[in-house]
Amino acid sequence: MPESKINESGDSPFFEIGAIEIGTADINAALDIKRSMIDYSKPIIVEGFPQHDAWGKQGGNSIVAQMLGTYKEDQPYAELWFGTHVNGNASAIQGDIEIPLVAAIETSARDLLGERVCSKYGAQLPFLFKVLSVGEALSIQAHPTKEQAERLRAENPKLYKDDNHKPEVAIPITPLTLLYGFRSKKEIIRELTVTPEFSVLVGKEALDKFSLAEDGQESELALKALYKDLMQRPLTPDGATRLTAACESLINRLTLKGGNTDHERLVLQLADKYPTDIGLFAAYFMNLTTVEPGKALFIEPGIPHAYLHGDLIEVMANSDNVVRAGLTPKECDVNTLIDIVDCRMGACTLRNPTPNDGTAFVSFDIPVEEFDLALMSGAHSKEVLKTNGEMVFLFSLNGIGKVVSGTETYSLVPGKAIIIPAKISEVEISLNEGTLYKVVVP
């Protein structure tokens, strides 16, 4: 195969293939030709965009790598994105034609998305579908509301690259362990009492106010002040010195003692990579839980969380807005997280799938405008799916079966998606085994 390279002279970019130079104008012209060849009366195959964050599982241990088929054993494979976000645009394939999914939508948005969806969201997929394979802890983070996202984008466009909110639902493929939301008041006070290192990181006044606060809003406000006291401490030189000393003391004490609670074992595990991170202490404030396959977790704006280990499907509004505050080498924005954090306390609420009358799909009741999620699983499931003039997104996790549209049949391929354009009135789905996810815009 001839070698391709990018012009290094600083002039207009071009690709050189053998003795032939292909300029930007030629590339755009070639893309325009491919765009015009897409037939929106037929299904479109979608291949995901891989992300290689360090927290992903390595090589063939990652379900993302397995879905890609080809991978390097020494590289992490963290996520597979199916959407049109600028940070990871999927590919649209029809026959021998392959173009960016965003280009396929922009070419004929109404034919693909449908009139109502296109009128509301423009020429873009309003949701982002992901597969995640988590080998190490992600950052402690929270997501902004739509109003907050618009403000953050205007104030810091380098860090916040879009102005959309990011409500999302997580559906485990394997058991998913994570930190999510704040523990009960009783549990937080107990941890602060039996962990002596907290005494150099949180002020006695803030702790006393939290301990004495009435349940409800007063306790939430007092918790926010206490959490702020903890998280902002390392932002000053004196606070950073205190944090280093507190982390060293905590790690040494738990190592000698032997961590005998779930949170203590987690702290020792996290300390291997983040030995002087405020996240070691923030973890004590949060629920440590494992969500089993078959359940779903709706991650609301402002709720602090961090995935720790497992494989999952995520569906969210089309956004990559993340406010980080610990357990990451990436840029943190502690002050913003404190500003947007939701200080409700108590165990996280899981959601069960609900059967849909007259259909083989079950759905999760997620209060989001951008997407509605359902799934079909098991052997010998069939469905005549009517589009009602709007796009349907289908993703085969491990599903074996087919989609019949008119006279043509499309095999379900694990790790790939099929978009049924709005121009198609109905398709027939047959699932022999595995799980098929369906996403539509409600």
| Distance (Å, whole) CA 430 – CA 383 | 7
Q: Of 395, 417, 412, which is closest to residue 44 (Cα–Cα)?
A: 417
**The one-letter amino acid at 236:** T
Cβ contacts of 251 within 8 Å, gap of 6 or more: 267, 268, 271, 275, 280
How far apart, in Å, are the Cα atoms of 422 and each of 39, 112, 388, 427, 440?
12, 5, 8, 11, 11
Helix, strand or coil for residue 433?
strand
Active-site pick, 153, 324, 344, 351: 324
Q: Of 328, 255, 329, 336, which is closest to residue 301 (Cα–Cα)?
A: 336
- Cβ pair 78, 64 in contact under 8 A: yes
- Cβ pair 393, 417 in contact under 8 A: yes
* Residue with the two structure tokens 């009492």: 193
295 — phi, psi (to 5°)? -105, 170
Helix (H) or strand (E) holding 431: strand 426-433
Residue 92: exposed, middle, or buried by beta-carbon count in 10 A (0-12, 13-18, 19+)? buried
Helix, strand or coil for residue 201?
coil
The C-alpha angle 47, 48, 51, rounded to 5 degrees, equals 150
| Distance (Å, whole) CA 147 – CA 300 | 14
To the query of whether residue 324 is one of the catalytic residues in this protein, the response is yes
Instruction: List active site positions.
Output: 324
